[in-house]
Amino acid sequence: MPLVRISLLRGKPSAYRQAIAEAVYQALRDTFDVPDRDRFVTITEHDGEDFIFDRFYLGIDRSDDFVIIQLTVSNTRTREKKRALYLRIVELLAADPGLRPEDVFINLVEVLPENWSFGMGEAQYVK
């Protein structure tokens, strides 16, 4: 059910981008109980002039490896699960592809379960 949007500066190899997508998916499985095959991800690369971020907001020193990860999920998780998700994403991205925690920006967007249609014009989560 999560919809994952990953944005980064243009120029990273495919394996690097795929490692980010895989780490986010694994973190969602580890902390949000996302089932197997529930994987919907877009990765967008931007030229520098189209990827604008403050390199020192809140005292965090960001580099050109900065990545924005936006997750749209149903509003069913506790604050503790959300914190666990953020930490797990950073942990996995540090391992592969080697992103610094300072370069990982995560935004969680919560929606009601009836706001999803996975195809066929149906709202699969509405009972």
User: Any idea which residues carry the catalytic annotation?
Assistant: 2
Amino acid at 57: Y
What are the residues whose beta carbons fall under 8 Å from the beta carbon of 116, sequence distance 6 or more?
1, 74, 123, 124, 125
Which residue, among 30, 29, 7, has the nearest Cα to 17 in the 3D structure?
A: 7
Structure letter (DSSP) for residue 75: S
Contact 9, 64 (CB under 8 A): yes
